[in-house]
Amino acid sequence: MTLTEQTTERPEVRGVRRLSRPDPASRGRGGQRFLLVGLSLAGVYSLFPVWWLIVAATKDRTALYQSNGLWFSGWHLWDNLHQVFTYQDGIFLRWTANSFLYAGVGSLGGTLIALATGYGLARFDFPGRNAIFACVVGSFLIPIALLTLPLYLLFSAIGMVDTPWAMLIPCLINPFSVYLAKVYTEATIPYELLEAARIDGAGELRIFFSIVLRMMTTGGATVFLLAFVNTWNAFFLPLTVLRGKENWTLNLGLYNWTGTRLESGIDLTGLVLTGALLSIVPMAIMMVAMRRYWRTGVTLGALK
């Protein structure tokens, strides 16, 4: 044995087992399994109410109370749908149209205003800009429910209570949408592009509608989707400012059907559950149709 081999060879000690280093790949696989299990449990927890709602919408009144709540018992979905669409002369369809009006028109106008405001705060330097942005961020601390009563008093003073405007005007102002629009503008609209457009003779309105809005498609879609879901699920505001049934939203109408059992003794639980299932269909369709935009938009906002 040479001298080099003698110096490099380590003597073995009896009764002592050499510890091997943990494999980084195995640790990574363990973390992935843990993450996968956690996401699976979260997915089951999130979809559990939807599954219960789907099962309940297929039952009649007897099976709804006497059968297993997590599995089917007969198939009465078409009868329940017919009752929902025909009860009280089809008032459910009117409530659906009102919800689309408030959520669609209000969110579209609110998105346009938010994009214009966010663009102005991000790319224009004027006195009081930081103070205005601080007020926008500070308004996040005010719960929306606290603004319901002041809005009612304001609309009552100007005669807008129980009109569509009482729902549309509050939807046009959303501080969180303004914040998102400012973040997206800073990430996607460079100063050099705006200066080049001004040198070419383009006015500010043309720059905004021809250049900024096209480059803000992803951010605008995200802002619109969040505003649409928020307005579609609104409850306290329509409960306060809307009185006549013809102007109610879906949530307010279903809430009224829920209280009918206490007032008149008529059990409309089956209609309420079927209507609730129908009320989530538009949001699901919109989420699927716009998934390409809101995924990119949320990622961009997170990176920013």
- Residue 297 predicted with pLDDT over 70: no
pLDDT at residue 227, as a whole number: 92
Residue 296 has pLDDT above 90, yes or no: no
Name which of 19-23, 66-70, 249-253 the model is least confident about: 19-23
Taking residues 51-68, report their average pLDDT.
Answer: 87
Q: What is the per-residue pLDDT for 295?
A: 61
Q: What is the DSSP string of 158-210?
A: HT-TTSTHHHHHHHT--HHHHHHHHHHHHHH--HHHHHHHHHTT--HHHHIII
| pLDDT tens, residue by residue, 212-225 | 998 888 888 889 99
CA 90 to chain centre: 28
Task: Tell me the pLDDT band of 240, cut-offs 50, 70 and 90.
Answer: very high
Which amino acid is located at 17 in the chain? R
Give me the mean pLDDT over the 237-254 stretch.
91
| pLDDT tens digits, one per residue of 253-275 | 999 888 776 666 677 888 899 99
Determine the average pLDDT of the residues in 287-291. 81
Taking only the tens place, the pLDDT of each residue in 83-124 is 999 988 889 999 999 999 999 999 999 999 999 999 999 999
Share of the chain above pLDDT 90, in %: 45
- What mean pLDDT comes out for the span 53-66? 87
| Region of residue 20 (left: phi > 0; alpha: psi -120 to 50; beta: else) | beta
